[in-house]
Amino acid sequence: MRSVIFYTAARLAIFGATAGVLALFGARGFLLLLLALLISGIVSYVLLSAQRDRMSAVVVRGVRAQRDRFEKSVTKEDGARPRTD
């Protein structure tokens, strides 16, 4: 979970820094947001690739664990009820 929070915070920091630099150069309003989003996305893609892979692995493990718990509970429920087919 820590890697998810770190990745999100890093993305927000890169977006904020990019928006700040663009504001210094005179970008305003919608153009500022659009350029900051585009540029920070590219920068994040390059700089945070290792962190993104770690975060993805954590998320996949969490989803698989949740799926396994769900399947176990369904199996347990099916075993407790008599079958009628």
pLDDT band at 10 (very low <50, low <70, confident <90, very high): very high
Query: What confidence tens digit (pLDDT) does each residue in 28-72 have?
Result: 999 999 999 999 999 999 999 999 999 999 999 989 988 888 888
**The residue to which tokens 């153009």 are assigned:** 31
What CA–CA distance (Å, rounded) separates 73 from 35? 48
pTM of the model: 0.72
Is residue 34 within 8 Å of 52, Cβ to Cβ?
A: no
Stretch 14-39: mean pLDDT, rounded? 96
Which ranges of 1-85 does DSSP label H, i.e. alpha helix? 2-24, 29-47, 49-80
**The residue to which tokens 């970008």 are assigned:** 27
| C-alpha 15 chain-centroid distance | 15
Burial class (CB in 10 A: 0-12, 13-18, 19+), 44: buried
Could you tell me the residue ranges of all domains in the chain?
A: 2-77
